[in-house]
Amino acid sequence: MCLGFCVHLCCKFLIMKVLLLNPPFPEMLLRDNYCCHTSKGDYVWAPTDLLYVSGNLSHPDIEQKVIDAIVEKKSSEKVIAEIEDFQPDVIVALSGTASFVSDMELLAKVKDRIKCRLYVMGNIAAFEPRAFLNKFPMIDGIFHNFFDEKILPFVLNPLHTAKSISARLPDGSIILGEVNYLGKHEIPQPLPPNYSLFPLHLYSTPISLRSPMASVITSFGCPYVCKFCVASGLNLYHRSIENIELEFDEIHRNGVREIFFMDSTFNTSHARVREICELMLKKNYGFTWSCNVHSHRNLNQTFTLMKKAGCHTIQIG
Ligand code: SF4
């Protein structure tokens, strides 16, 4: 009896608690994909950065919790109370231009009350990582690429730094990471997100036909060079079809029937669009979906197949 009790306590002690936080804000705010803007209509989707970090942190020694204070309309006080209740060892929080001041105020309060490591993802943190970490001593690091599987070993042990992470080391020194850290032949293949942790029933867009809806990214960055757009500064990487299939399987298991493809440009390659459509047809998921496409590509080449695979709406840029 004694042995069982001790084993239970030891196992509990070894579990690392990680909180994925989309901080509160008075307006419906979308912070993801290194961008931040208010919802101009009746649309809000799951923050994709946190989704993919949740997949990359899938590990038997990690217990994850998600607070999406935006879609759940939680106040700062409520969020702080929930964090105190959960007692995380690590917090990964989003931040963005529109909410930057209130985000930093909240995170400073949290760090005053909870002894934990605190990491941030978002555009302002990524612009000047050294200046950011110097100005906000409560932040322990910045994740520059939510697709990177190396987030897991770093979270388990902060000495395992990675090229996609800016970090304050235990001796106080700072190492700098970057977004475009991968060589041409290195392709990040994230584990499927932990969709069950997110309040999927609360996400929707006016163009989604069904609920629950998932937001999926099959490629990172964009090959076009529009100067006003953050995606133009990111190298283009395509996830493998096998890697996307794992995510489709996970989405399907979680009862999702609608997908909003969040790729900056879904049709960067006709061959790839065909492969994704053929996968959806072969596995008979029954998804309905929408995506962003670029008008420079000859859309007629893939329209019929896309429609057959469940596409009902495209947003043309
Ligand atoms: S095509 Fe669209 S996503 Fe790509 S750089 Fe231009 S505006 Fe950004």
Q: Is 270 in the pocket of ligand 1 (CB under 6 A)?
A: no
Distance 207 CA to ligand 1 centre (A): 20
CA-closest residue to ligand 1 atom 1: 224
Distance 265 CA to ligand 1 centre (A): 7
pLDDT at 3 exceeding the cut of 60: no
Average pLDDT over residues 112-137: 92
Residue 294 CA, closest ligand 1 atom number? 1
- Please give the Cα distance from 240 to 245 (Å, whole number): 9
Q: Is 236 in the pocket of ligand 1 (CB under 6 A)?
A: no
Please answer whether residues 203 and 44 qualify as being in contact, where contact means their C-beta atoms are separated by less than 8 angstroms.
yes
CA-closest residue to ligand 1 atom 3: 264
- Specify the DSSP element, H or E, that contains 238: strand 237-238
Q: Is 222 in the pocket of ligand 1 (CB under 6 A)?
A: yes
- What pLDDT was estimated at residue 301? 80
List phi, psi (to 5°) of 10.
Answer: -65, -45
Residue (of 110, 109, 104, 25) closest to 71 by Cα position: 25
Euclidean distance between the first and the last CA atom of the chain, given in angstroms as a whole number: 65
CATH for the stretch 16-175:
3.40.50.280
The pTM is what? 0.90
- What percent of the chain is predicted at pLDDT more than 90? 64
Q: Is 48 in the pocket of ligand 1 (CB under 6 A)?
A: no
Q: Is 7 in the pocket of ligand 1 (CB under 6 A)?
A: no
**Segment 221-272, tens digit of pLDDT:** 888 888 888 777 777 888 999 999 999 999 999 999 999 999 989 998 899 9
Distance 233 CA to ligand 1 centre (A): 10
- What pLDDT was estimated at residue 226? 85
Average pLDDT over residues 80-97: 97
- What pLDDT was estimated at residue 5? 37
Q: Is 231 in the pocket of ligand 1 (CB under 6 A)?
A: yes
Residue (of 310, 75, 93) closest to 213 by Cα position: 310
Please answer whether residues 129 and 176 qualify as being in contact, where contact means their C-beta atoms are separated by less than 8 angstroms.
yes
- Please give the Cα distance from 288 to 275 (Å, whole number): 17
- Please give the Cα distance from 175 to 128 (Å, whole number): 12
pLDDT at 4 exceeding the cut of 90: no
Q: Which amino acid does the sequence have at 147?
A: F
Task: Report which of residues 165 and 183 the model is more confident about.
Answer: 165
Residue 265 CA, closest ligand 1 atom number? 3
CA-closest residue to ligand 1 atom 5: 232
Residue 230 CA, closest ligand 1 atom number? 8
pLDDT at 7 exceeding the cut of 50: no
The label of the residue with tokens 């008075």 reads: 26
Q: Is 232 in the pocket of ligand 1 (CB under 6 A)?
A: yes
Q: Is 262 in the pocket of ligand 1 (CB under 6 A)?
A: no
Average pLDDT over residues 158-170: 90
Strand partners, 166: 142
The answer to whether domain 204-316 has CATH 2.60.120.260 is no
Distance 218 CA to ligand 1 centre (A): 16
**Segment 279-300, tens digit of pLDDT:** 999 999 999 999 999 887 677 7
pLDDT at 108 exceeding the cut of 90: yes
CA-closest residue to ligand 1 atom 6: 226
Distance 317 CA to ligand 1 centre (A): 7
Torsion of CA 201, 202, 207, 212, to 10 degrees: -10
Domains of the chain by residue range: 16-175, 204-316
**Segment 191-225, tens digit of pLDDT:** 899 999 999 999 989 899 999 999 999 988 888 88
**Segment 18-72, tens digit of pLDDT:** 999 999 999 888 988 777 888 888 789 999 999 999 999 999 999 999 999 999 9
Kind of pairing, strands 90-94 and 16-22?
parallel
Torsion of CA 197, 215, 166, 163, to 10 degrees: 110
DSSP assignment, residue 296? T
Average pLDDT over residues 156-168: 92
